Amino acid sequence: MRVTEKGQVTIPKDIRDRLNVGPGSEVDFIADDKGARLVVVADGRSVSEDDVETWLKSVSGTFDTGGMTADEYIEWLRGPRDDLGPR
């Protein structure tokens, strides 16, 4: 592919389809020792408040902490904190 005078390139359709890149998508080029890589930053779709509410309702009550409180679960997950004195 060629770079235009404005520094633009066209991403081939098969690559756009594979990476789910479309109008409004954000991409970045990352330079490394082998050349440059195209990285998809965001797919350009906006999420509505209704989408979030629907998702929250779909996962509500699906996480079982085995009766632990949130603090107990976090301590179990991360381990005891070293930066706090004894409780």
Tokens of 62: 């699906």
pLDDT in tens, the chain (87 residues): 899 999 999 999 999 998 888 888 888 888 988 899 888 887 666 667 788 888 888 988 888 888 999 889 888 999 877 787 666
pLDDT at 87 (0 to 100): 60
pLDDT at 44 (0 to 100): 67
Return the HEC string of the chain. CCCCCCCCCCCCHHHHHHHCCCCCCEEEEEEECCEEEEEEEECCCCCCHHHHHHHHHHHCCCCCCCCCCHHHHHHHHHCCCCCCCCC
Question: In whole angstroms, what is the distance from residue 58 CA to residue 52 CA?
Answer: 10
